[in-house]
Structure 1
Amino acid sequence: MSDQIVLTAKTAPDAVDETPPSAKLVLTVLAHEGSLTQSRLAEETMLPARTVRYALQQLEEHDLVDSQISFADARQHVYSLNDDRFAKADARE
């Protein structure tokens, strides 16, 4: 199996259940594509930027994603899955 994290009901933290559908979509895209900026997430999910912003806020509140300042453009953040949070979920299996 590849190193990609597969989000399923069995491996995803319980906090995922508490997020809106848009947040689940953003989480799935991050799992498949890796680290992305908010604008890139909007393109990939085909959601409005405001919806992506809200989804990311929800995911950050539940500690499901990490953000770092982009090296390419310091005005943007790059979002990725919180590997520690998902590693704990995988260890529960």
Structure 2
Amino acid sequence: MSAPEAVHADNAETDDLADRWKPVRDLPPSAKLVAKVLDYNETLTQSELAEETLLPPRTVRYALSRLEDADVVDSRFSFADARKRLYSLSI
């Protein structure tokens, strides 16, 4: 691959990454932080997200609701504890 082709491939990869995060771009900072933590961890509960982000549980709940409204987070019930939901990034 020539140098111009390599640069073009890098730019295309960067554009794909930017497009991936486009639905999150206009959300509050707390939602962006929760999304980024979910990007690094496959699946977390709300309490685990609060621990990882150092955000209050109420703020995490708000962030998750905004992320769910934007269709960038999936949630399902935990098989280990049906009272808890597991969240994962869907973008």
Mark yes or no: TM-score above 0.5: yes
The one of 31, 42, 49 equivalent to 1:23 is: 31
- Give 5+ residue unaligned stretches, structure 1: 1-7, 87-93
**Matched residue pairs, number?**
76
Q: Distance in 2 between matches of 1:13 and 1:25?
A: 12
C-alpha deviation, 1:76, in angstroms: 0.6
The one of 34, 38, 44 equivalent to 2:42 is: 34
C-alpha deviation, 1:33, in angstroms: 1.3
Aligned residue number for residue 46 of structure 1: 54
- In the TM superposition, what whole-angstrom CA distance separates every residue of 1:16-75 from its partner, at most 9, and x where no partner exists? 112100000000000001100000000000000000000000000000000000011101
The one of 67, 70, 93 equivalent to 2:78 is: 70
TM-score, length-scaled by structure 1: 0.76
Q: Secondary structure at the match of 1:75?
A: coil
Q: Distance in 1 between matches of 2:29 and 2:17?
A: 14
C-alpha deviation, 1:9, in angstroms: 6.2
Aligned residue number for residue 69 of structure 2: 61
Aligned-pair Cα RMSD in Å: 1.5
Q: Distance in 2 between matches of 1:17 and 1:31?
A: 15
